[in-house]
Structure 1
């Protein structure tokens, strides 16, 4: 039994005749009659009463018509869904992010994407940047708001810049330098540093080390935190000073101060990253929306 048999059968039943069905389907009447006879032989029942000029459904035919319509509706729906999926209007999208890297752009994009593409199921997964790079390559997330790609991942992933974030020195409010309006990283050369663990935030760790090196010193590292909230907690506990991007300020407390770094290159990139090998229509729709919004807001 094929979908063609069901289509021919339903049109004959709905038009009340083989001739009308043939004209509607643009198929020879003899071909339709033959297909219906094949269907009846396969089912072992008569679907039509052919005694009069106008064919009528038998009792079995009436029952079969109901089920045939259900099957055809499901087939048509499957074709429609496939076409929508191909156009990037249907499917699933898993987005990686990290607290401190979200900002208003992230939340507005997610809301707008859900509104424009209600047929795409969006899942948000929080993970540190260092974990995102591996997840993108493994396919456990489709796209991520993350830091600039380390060289080891740059050949496997693709990224587009979103914005630059300035760095801040994070100090206890009681620190002797806490009243400064701006500060250079050289002024912290004698301090003990609390840094993001390189396994989880390689871009931030490497940038801080580079800034210190360019200022002429190697930082004394007292402790590391896997996430920015952990780094801030270590500063609050008196373990040292930290250098963190602006986005991490949402995790701040009243016990610490954030002082902008005056160093020229004290900025870090926020990017959108994905695996070109695993690119699918829903992801392309997301990327196009992000690109349009970036142009609109001028970033």
Structure 2
């Protein structure tokens, strides 16, 4: 049984409504329903009663207790393996993240200085992990968050006091499309061209947070967009499959910010109002040992220095 299915089961048990749980997991209700059916087939019993919502059956209540214990033990396993012995750091990043290359470069530089240590780099693609939850649950020592500048969700109110943060770069919010797209050939998109457009974003909590801010800022210009979340991989071939009459959302590095992914053969355009997302490095200072602090400093040094101006 896939561990992610168990987490989805636990989430559905807390929401009791399929659509609400699917929204929280950033997946479609049909996909969540299929995963639940797979769990029930493997266990051999119904976990929910489908009459008037999703209420746990007696077997479901028993299964929930076991699932919660399994998830707790799994978190403990990751924590012990990540910080025990000679381990140095566990770092997570979104599946589509353009910050992965410089983070990997920091890992190689650190290992050259401290051979024999362990640095665990993990993508959160398999469980749709929230960047704050992986820190609070002890699954990671460092994570990354993007917030749209000027939107209501700000870093000071988003991150709890137990988590420290540092802004490490800024990015233009851009929209990719094929050369055949009606707006092809333009470097900026007007309100009329973007209004009621379909925008495809990667399927993970980080994208959801970014698109929340994008939609909010576009609403100030009386622009309404429909957002579709899909598993978009980090290469132009995967992007091309989704580029038809729709836009694919991406981030373009500014001010020398890290990121080596681009679409050189396909046009990208910024909204004429200029939407900017800031990237933040998140970490739990109380949990970092000296080696971890040294590694964190090394990661920060690889990023272009940014001003404190927001």
- Normalising by structure 1, we get a TM-score of 0.57
Match of 1:157 among 148, 159, 163: 163
1:160 Cα deviation from its structure 2 partner: 0.7
Cα distance in structure 2, aligned partners of 1:137 and 1:161: 19
Query: How many equivalent pairs are there?
Result: 205
Structure with bigger gyration radius: 1
Q: Residue 211 of structure 2 aligns to a residue in which SS?
A: helix
CA distance change for structure 1 residues 156 and 124 in 2, over 3 Å: closer, same or farther?
same
Q: Is the 8 A contact 1:161 1:271 kept in 2?
A: yes
CA apart distance, 1:176:
1.1
* Residues 142 and 214 (structure 1), Cα distance of their counterparts in 2 relative to 1, 3 Å cut: same
Q: State the match for 2:82 in structure 1.
A: none
Q: Does 1:94 align with 2:90?
A: yes
Select which of 260, 279, 294 maps to 2:270.
260
User: Does the alignment pair 1:213 with 2:210?
Assistant: no
CA distance in 2: counterparts of 1:187 and 1:112, whole angstroms = 45
RMSD (CA atoms): 3.3
1:279 aligned to 2:296? no
Q: Deviations over 1:79-102 (max 9, x none)?
A: xxxxxxxxxxx5431111233322
Structure 1 unaligned spans of 5+: 1-89
Give the TM-score, by structure 2 length: 0.55
Q: Is the 8 A contact 1:150 1:202 kept in 2?
A: no
Matches within 5 A, 1:134-173: 134-148=133-147, 151-173=157-179
Return closer, same or farther for 1:202/1:278 CA change in 2, 3 Å cut-off: farther
Partner of 1:224: 229
Q: Does the CA-based 8 Å contact 1:167-1:246 persist in structure 2?
A: yes
- Greater share of helix residues, 1 or 2? 1
Task: Give the superposition deviation at 1:188.
Answer: 0.7
Question: Gapped runs of 5+ residues in structure 2?
Answer: 1-85, 148-154, 254-258
Do the aligned residues in 2 keep the contact of 1:94 with 1:141 (CA within 8 Å)? yes
Counterpart secondary structure, 2:295: helix
Partner of 1:201, secondary structure, is helix
Q: Judging changes above 3 Å, is the alpha-carbon distance between structure 1 residues 130 and 185 closer, same or farther for their aligned structure 2 residues?
A: farther
The match for 2:242 among 230, 235, 245 is 235
Q: Give, in angstroms, the shift of residue 185 of structure 1.
A: 5.0
Q: Which residue does the alignment assign to 2:298?
A: 289
Give 1:125 deviation, angstroms: 0.3
Please say if residues 93 and 100 of structure 2, whose CA atoms lie closer than 8 Å, have aligned partners that are also in contact. no
- 1:131 alignment partner in structure 2: 130
CA deviation map 1:210-247 (0-9, x unaligned): 231122122234x22255659946632x3622332126
Q: How has the CA–CA distance of structure 1 residues 135 and 190 changed in structure 2, closer, same or farther, with 3 Å as cutoff?
A: closer
Q: CA deviation at 1:287?
A: 2.1
Report the Cα offset of residue 298 of structure 1.
Answer: 3.6
Aligned to 1:212, what secondary structure does the other structure show?
helix
Does the 8 Å contact 1:139/1:278 carry over to 2? no
